[in-house]
Structure 1
Amino acid sequence: MSTDTAATPPVAKRVPSERTHHGDTIVDEYAWLAAKDDPETIDYLKAENAYTEAATAHLAGLRETLFEETKRRTQETDLSVPTRKGAYWYYTRTVEGQQYGIQCRRAVRDGETAPPSTADGAPLDGEEVLLDGNALAEGHDFFALGTFDVSPDGRWLAYSTDFAGDERFTLRVKDLSTGEVLPDEVPDAFYGSAWSADGSTLFYLTVDEAWRPYRVWRHAIGTPPSDDVVVFQEDDERFWVGVELTRSEKFIVIEAHSKVTSEARVIPASNPTGEPAVIAPRRQGVEYSIEHHGHRFLILHNDGAEDFALAYTSADAPGDWTTLIPHTPGTRLESVDAFSNHVVVSLRKDGLTGLRVIPDGSTDSFDIAFPEPLYSVGLESNPEYDTASVRLHYASFVTPDSVYDYDLTTREMVLRKQKPVLASLGGTAFDSADYEQHRDWAVADDGTRVPISLVCKAGTPKDGSAPCVIYGYGSYEASMDPWFSIPRLSLLDRGVIFAVAHIRGGGELGRRWYEDGKMLAKKNTFTDFVACARHLVKAGWTSTDRLVARGGSAGGLLMGAVANIAPDAFTGVVAQVPFVDALNSILDPSLPLTVTEWEEWGNPLHDPEVYAYMKSYTPYENVAAVEYPAILAVTSLNDTRVLYHEPAKWVARLRATSPASEYLLKTEMGAGHGGPSGRYDAWKEEAFVAAWILDRIKP
């Protein structure tokens, strides 16, 4: 990789710092980088940014080209498909040149049953702007919208904003009949809210010092927030809390979850001052969620059902559970949505997502069929309870995001909109036939077959000559289902293969796939990924010197781990907001997320076996004097989920321990976990990463 020879990498000072756990000493000479308010820390991060900019200066032209390709292919002025709720169609509009979406609605007209057409991207006649993200973001480097919740009667809008990227929101209420923003203002609110049936009362969440949502508050519209009442407080630090209004608008649901246990309470939406009633007391290891459906609550649960079963209980007097869909090993039931005359279950089987419809609440059911061998499908926002159709989202690696309305009775599926993909710089129009997607399988060290999904230009040879990016995550039972990406087209058109390793720790093959990649089985995640990388080379998809690994957050932990255990397998590694200092973070219960994460990673603070196991794989602790692939680490100063100092410390130790390789650290100084907030800024960030990848693999 060519770099500016005048660029000199910063050298982080080494300050002795030691801690002892279970008789073992952790040496952390870069712990000082955690002092975010120290000017020396900021100066160091700025020096790293300057070095990264100088080292990649030769890619400036390529970055601009990649950005322009994304921009040209995107219909910048556009509308989402309007969703009906009550007397209005709700939608989001974007305008060419503007960074953020505009939240709008338009009244439903007499006889109007289908959503208005949005093909030309023009504003709908008679639209009402509810929130303009561009106006709210004015004067700020970062902007994110958290809660956006319109009251059942359509009068009030609860919304929350974040201008730092730390996901600590300020909650406000807007009177949509007058446009007035009420003085009711709540700082440090979390995602989520729920309205009472009459719109007089708003329920919302706040966090504790460790950024754990633990309190549900009740706020009467028009009263000072100082008069708000705590409705529920979760004191067990393993649990976090959520609140929502059921689709039927009959109940406020308060759910408390840990990683392995859950508990639900309900309040009648018509009686917001009522006491929350428990549906089923929490039992360690039992997860369940509820959905209101007429005279009953539907309960999705794993009590004796590893891949979950669906049951119901009386809404009037919750008690025993009656099975509706029994447990079927290998078919993971993920969520349930109830409508007046139908139930729709979201599931996954054989590594693919699916939707099962139960008409009229009966036991007769059918699965909706989809044509491609690889795809991703799920329900969109469906706020109306009394409906005969549902809105769903469909995409694949080669099919742009598509919105359908599916008639639950006739089983007819109507395409409402497919994401436009315009011609690129050369005037070439997008054609899905120009690309192909494949499913392959690697064999892990223990004999487990691990699926790999791939997309490439049609006719790409399997002779090892094609460059490849292999992406992975492998944590929290999150599945990396096929998704369409306009920026990815720029890589595919240059001959790059994009592969996703569906490694253990994710949820692609059910709950057992997840369990076999967490806690004291976490290393399966890393060895699975390496097995996938080596399989791609052996099968002729690519070669080692043309293979770049990429992952973010917990997938960044994956990147750091595979760089340590198989540095010869890749020519480059991209680690975005990477969780590379996992042991030190999980040892500190004062940090955001730590205690709630103990049921995901284990508790190294109190369990010597977990401590030893985590120390054996956490990337920062296992940096060695070996020849590493080139590494690009991208982070954000205000990230609450993975603190910026983890990759900063990691890069410093890599550079000090194995200085022959190239390590770049890029810190967004005014953003959070998701990186830059504006869409153009996000495209530029992706262009930066893609240019670095292309420079490594030289397609």
Structure 2
Amino acid sequence: MKKHLLISCVCLTFAANAQSNKTKMTETISPPLAAVKPKTLEKHGDVRTDNYYWLNERENPEVIDYLNKENAYYNAMTADQKQFQKDLFEEMKGRIKEDDSSVPYFYNGYYYITRYEKGKDYPIYTRKKGSLEAKEELLFDCNEMAKGHSYFQLGGLNISEDNKWVAFGVDTVSRRQYTIQVKNLVTNEILPFKIENTTGGSTWAGDNNTLFYTRKDPTTLRSDKIYKHKLNGDVNDDVLVYHEKDDTYSTFIYKEKSKKYLVIGSSSTLTTEYRTLDAKKPDGEFVIFQKRTRELEYSISHYGDKWYIVTNKDKATNFKLMTTPEGKTGKENWKDLIPHRKDVLLEDIEIFKNFLVIGERENGLNTIRIRPWDGKGEYYLPFNSETYTAGISTNPDFDTDIVRYSYQSMATPSSVIDFNMKTKEKTVLKEQAVLGGKFDKNNYTEERVWATAADGTKVPISMVYRKGIVKDGKNPLLLYAYGSYGSSMDPYFSSIRLSLLDRGFIYAIAHIRGGEDLGREWYEDGKLLKKKNTFTDFVDCSKYVIDQKYTSEAHLYAEGGSAGGLLMGAIINMAPQLYHGVIAQVPFVDVVTTMLDDSIPLTTGEYDEWGNPNDKEYYDYMKSYSPYDNITAQNYPNMLVTTGLHDSQVQYWEPAKWVAKLRVTKTGNNLLYLDTNMEAGHGGASGRFEALKEVAKEYSFLLDLEGIKK
């Protein structure tokens, strides 16, 4: 503890000097300036001039040259941090068990295991027949498959019911366009055909010969077509089974846990629709379960002679569980099983032979509810912490009384637990190992506090820090948030984060509106024409941690990625004085222009999240918060902006344009870096260790601003 306090004091002593040195470097190393090529954009009689629109020309050598110059500037300005970045990388890597393996799960006669070997970046997929003592069968060694590729991702592993075939998808570009192939698990032969431009996922019919898969639109990358392929057929003869023509929807296909039905789903932000087919009759016609009805959301699970439906029908904002007979799937036949509750969000269900398991969320915390099918003696699993995350895990086996779930908190490593629903006995199968011999969860304090937003709403903040920290306003604090798409940012453990905590940082997650942390209304209050609540919530959380003297403006940092990067762009326009530094990862910052371009991947499917700017009301509202459109001549915080050239979710040119405009508009000498991974996409580098190098860059940026050099 004494050592930790000493480190904190040293941080404060050197922070000012570190910033001064960087300012001097800025005066001697000139940042690149993007060429100004004005383009006039007009909509609803409103005219915008975009000086950097040309940066969206991905194949233009001038664009690549500019991105390379930004990278060179970043590398020159941080040259003194390179050794520290390497040290951080080795430190974080040193906490990871390199020769690790997953907890085996049992499915259709086999135990499936994912393992890693020391010194290798990629997973190895194996299985064992009948017993964990059986001989290991190698499915895929991704280390071998990744050779020769700067990026590699294997996904969508899908094994036929006869255990003979495995379909898999490979992405070597990082635009989430996978090529599907099939491997014979008896001969280990990979069949010669390749199916290009897919989601990577696929589903076997019950005949073990028909493979259904989803193709993407080559321009927008929307998942819009379901095909079926016969193993002995030509890919060019594959049959189009379903075409989702509405460009605000995406489609997908899967097989029910009961194995009786194939299911095609179509979904937009607010509406869903499903079609079903007997899995043993793959050449039959899919039948609509319940036709799409605007703002009716539902998901389906089959068991016995019934369907179980999680839905918001009848204005069930937080969702409820309904049932219907197999042959009567229209909503007029649906009956309540678990009614809607105002204060409890029903998130998901898992069906077993003797039990129904329900994942819920109350007061921002996960709960797992166990319900025997006769409805008698139901109960909740006990969780005692107030900053934990728990969730139903991989449970492919139907005929078992064991439910597998995961548990972790901000100071407690992730655990995989088997729970006997009859005897209520709990078995911890694995707890995430933290190597190095220095970690003890008792050295850290977890808190959940509540900030008050400008409109009186209470917003929870989860935080973790080393014991002994004094609330004197001098602690560096990193505040993270996302706040979109109803995605909840639950408190989670990170061994990587220890590199900040052990150097005196407080790490906090702001559970702002736009996520679903406190129920569906929490999401509804942070989207469309209420989107600004997301930004003001974050600002109010920032003011709270300052007012409560966890930190101060001189030591508060903010971080967010993708839609969370939009958040970063908005809050630095609104309240730049609150933050000493900001990390914006793959930030969505040019909202109006992107949402007006329906050729960009994902745009049309986003209208229910952000609004359609072809409608003037949404156009005006978007423009009022779009980070790129609201840059002004003010002193912005020190900033590190990251992106990937092949990003399919947020195109690289958004952060590139944003940085280019900030360079010529902002006042003061605070740092502004753009770091573009020229070989990766939205998720950054592939491989478990390569990704750590990107984290090391981010952490060294923060620590350098605090004057922490080691």
Q: Same fold (TM over 0.5)?
A: yes
Partner of 1:121: none
**SS in structure 2 of the partner of residue 182 of structure 1:** coil
Tell me the alpha carbon deviations over residues 46-88 of structure 1, each in whole angstroms, 9 at most, x when there is no partner: 0000000111111112211211111111111111001111221
Structure 2 distance, partners of 1:187, 1:502, is 39
- Cα separation, partners in 2 of 1:490 and 1:293, compared to 1, 3 Å: same
Alignment of 1:653 onto 2:661? yes
Alignment of 1:235 onto 2:257? no
Partner of 2:351: 338
**SS in structure 1 of the partner of residue 221 of structure 2:** coil
**SS in structure 2 of the partner of residue 9 of structure 1:** coil
Partner of 2:4: none
Structure 2 distance, partners of 1:72, 1:87, is 36
- Report if aligned partners of 1:184, 1:223 keep a CA contact under 8 Å in 2: no
C-alpha displacement of 1:344: 1.3
Structure 1 distance, partners of 2:376, 2:511, is 33
Partner of 1:131: 140
Structure 2 distance, partners of 1:588, 1:364, is 54
Partner of 1:7: 29
Q: How does 1:229-378 map to 2 (within 5 A)?
A: 229-303=239-313, 304-319=315-330, 320-360=333-373, 362=375, 365-378=378-391
Structure 2 distance, partners of 1:230, 1:355, is 40
Amino acid in structure 1 at the alignment position of 2:47: T
Alignment of 1:49 onto 2:71? yes
Alignment of 1:389 onto 2:402? yes
C-alpha displacement of 1:327: 0.1
Structure 2 distance, partners of 1:213, 1:330, is 34
**SS in structure 2 of the partner of residue 604 of structure 1:** coil
5+ residue gaps, structure 2 = 1-18
Structure 2 distance, partners of 1:524, 1:194, is 40
**SS in structure 2 of the partner of residue 679 of structure 1:** coil
Alignment of 1:620 onto 2:631? no
Amino acid in structure 2 at the alignment position of 1:77: D
Partner of 1:670: 679
Partner of 1:25: 47
Q: How does 1:676-691 map to 2 (within 5 A)?
A: 676-691=685-700
Structure 2 distance, partners of 1:691, 1:552, is 18
**SS in structure 1 of the partner of residue 324 of structure 2:** strand
**SS in structure 1 of the partner of residue 692 of structure 2:** helix
Q: State which of 74, 81, 84 in structure 1 corresponds to 2:96.
A: 74
- Cα separation, partners in 2 of 1:627 and 1:246, compared to 1, 3 Å: same
C-alpha displacement of 1:659: 4.8
Q: How does 1:194-205 map to 2 (within 5 A)?
A: 194-205=203-214
- Report if aligned partners of 2:169, 2:201 keep a CA contact under 8 Å in 1: no
- Report if aligned partners of 2:225, 2:251 keep a CA contact under 8 Å in 1: yes
Q: How does 1:82-97 map to 2 (within 5 A)?
A: 82-97=104-119
Structure 2 distance, partners of 1:350, 1:184, is 51
- Cα separation, partners in 2 of 1:409 and 1:504, compared to 1, 3 Å: same
C-alpha displacement of 1:196: 1.1
Partner of 1:163: 172
What is the number of residues matched between the two proteins? 681
Structure 1 distance, partners of 2:706, 2:588, is 25
Alignment of 1:643 onto 2:665? no
- Report if aligned partners of 2:572, 2:637 keep a CA contact under 8 Å in 1: yes
Structure 1 distance, partners of 2:623, 2:575, is 17
Alignment of 1:185 onto 2:198? no
- Report if aligned partners of 1:571, 1:697 keep a CA contact under 8 Å in 2: no
Structure 1 distance, partners of 2:232, 2:142, is 25
Q: State which of 53, 58, 62 in structure 2 corresponds to 1:36.
A: 58
C-alpha displacement of 1:261: 0.5
**SS in structure 1 of the partner of residue 564 of structure 2:** helix
Structure 1 distance, partners of 2:184, 2:405, is 31
User: Is 613-622 or 366-375 further displaced after alignment?
Assistant: 366-375
Amino acid in structure 2 at the alignment position of 1:281: K
Alignment of 1:595 onto 2:608? no
Amino acid in structure 2 at the alignment position of 1:463: D
Structure 2 distance, partners of 1:694, 1:33, is 32
Q: Which runs of 4+ in 1 moved over 4 A?
A: none
Partner of 2:156: 147
Structure 2 distance, partners of 1:387, 1:351, is 30
Structure 2 distance, partners of 1:162, 1:435, is 39
Structure 2 distance, partners of 1:242, 1:335, is 18
Structure 1 distance, partners of 2:160, 2:434, is 35
Structure 1 distance, partners of 2:274, 2:572, is 42
Alignment of 1:633 onto 2:641? yes
Structure 2 distance, partners of 1:72, 1:552, is 26
User: Is 185-194 or 544-553 further displaced after alignment?
Assistant: 185-194
**SS in structure 2 of the partner of residue 180 of structure 1:** coil
Structure 2 distance, partners of 1:98, 1:261, is 43
Partner of 1:420: 433
Structure 1 distance, partners of 2:212, 2:367, is 33
**SS in structure 2 of the partner of residue 494 of structure 1:** coil
User: Is 456-465 or 514-523 further displaced after alignment?
Assistant: 456-465
Structure 2 distance, partners of 1:252, 1:659, is 58
C-alpha displacement of 1:483: 1.0
**SS in structure 2 of the partner of residue 183 of structure 1:** coil
Amino acid in structure 1 at the alignment position of 2:122: Y
- Report if aligned partners of 1:526, 1:558 keep a CA contact under 8 Å in 2: yes
Structure 1 distance, partners of 2:517, 2:84, is 35
Structure 1 distance, partners of 2:438, 2:163, is 41
Amino acid in structure 2 at the alignment position of 1:158: A
C-alpha displacement of 1:16: 1.0
Amino acid in structure 2 at the alignment position of 1:445: A
**SS in structure 1 of the partner of residue 150 of structure 2:** coil
Give the superposed CA RMSD: 1.2
Partner of 1:531: 540
Amino acid in structure 1 at the alignment position of 2:319: F
- Report if aligned partners of 1:184, 1:222 keep a CA contact under 8 Å in 2: no
Partner of 2:8: none
Structure 1 distance, partners of 2:591, 2:353, is 46
Structure 1 distance, partners of 2:161, 2:495, is 36
**SS in structure 1 of the partner of residue 439 of structure 2:** coil
C-alpha displacement of 1:415: 0.3
C-alpha displacement of 1:318: 2.2
C-alpha displacement of 1:451: 0.5
Partner of 1:101: 123
- Report if aligned partners of 1:471, 1:501 keep a CA contact under 8 Å in 2: yes
Structure 1 distance, partners of 2:374, 2:603, is 41
Partner of 1:408: 421
- Report if aligned partners of 2:463, 2:508 keep a CA contact under 8 Å in 1: yes
Partner of 2:470: 461
**SS in structure 2 of the partner of residue 650 of structure 1:** helix
- Report if aligned partners of 2:71, 2:675 keep a CA contact under 8 Å in 1: yes
Structure 2 distance, partners of 1:345, 1:361, is 15
Structure 2 distance, partners of 1:36, 1:364, is 61
Identity in percent: 44
Structure 2 distance, partners of 1:634, 1:383, is 38
C-alpha displacement of 1:316: 3.2
